[in-house]
Amino acid sequence: MKIANLDLGEYPLILAPMEDVTDPSFRFMCKKYGANLMFTEFVPSEALIRNIDKSIKKLIINEIERPIGIQLYGHQIPVMVESAKIAAETNPDIIDINFGCPVKKIAMRGAGAGMLRDIPKMIEMTAAIVRAVNIPVTVKTRLGWDEETKNIVEIAERLQDVGIQALTIHGRTRNQLYKGEADWTLIGKVKNNPKMFIPIIGNGDITDGIKAKKMFQQHNVDGIMIGRGAIGRPYIFREIRHFLDTGNFCDPISLREKVEMAKEHFTQSLQWKGLPRGIFEMRTHLSNYFKGLPNSKDIRLRLVTSMNPTEILQTLDEIYSKYSYLDEENFVNTLY
């Protein structure tokens, strides 16, 4: 799959942009385990042009993370254009426009998936951003606003016409949020539309190699984007890649490796975001790293309530000390 001149190889696996999740510490882990392309947390355009420190920091990318895209959202065309110019100055590989975030405070202002209620404005904004920057522009969106407006086939054609280089489609409407199953049939309809020639990336409910391979084969998508399935599970990219390449499952991640992985991730988070934010934003990851451990409610509770980095690292060591026997029993095969 190629986005403009960016060659991502065959069947690329892509880390989705997620607020308070896809920070540099998590991207470091996902890249280590095989993500082919990653995106930053989504950046609010209004905060960016006001030079808000938190948003400016989201533009910082490391060479090891490449290829990487910066995702922007907003509802005002001039502000989005200006923010795209600012983001482009940091030399990302891609500028991505968020037309898919379903969160109420964003969508109801007309940004994110809210733009699905004003398609002419969506197209006008996209065209203006494409004209404003000299790097590939991509879009991430959903099937439509609700069940009555699943007009993604038409939207995809119009977005392509104004110059985007790839389109990612989440297989739900805005009103579904993350409920129910993602509908990949419409994603496949976009991909197999003879009028489409840009890469189509599918997103939604990909949690293992079997599902990924099925979506590549059944719907002919060019790439797959993984979001919630990677939280606390950066090694999902390695697992899926192995299955795609061999048709077999790779050796399961041992508990020892999970503990060391969580420690490395936690240390990176502290280095990047400091206290207390580096702890707060690791909690979902830490909980997911050890989801499924038997009789672990107390120890997992400590992981997500402690504000002391030393205590958290000690608790991680305690997990392995207490449950090391599970590696011998291959218990990790039953996790997730």
Q: Is 101 a catalytic residue?
A: yes
Among the listed residues 14, 59, 70, 101, the single catalytic one is 101
Contacts of 306 (CB under 8 A, 6+ apart): 279, 312, 315
186/171 Cα distance (integer angstroms)? 7
Q: Give me the phi and psi of 96, to 5 degrees please.
A: -115, 140
Q: How many residues does the chain have?
A: 336
Q: Give me the phi and psi of 296, to 5 degrees please.
A: -115, 15
Active site residues: 101
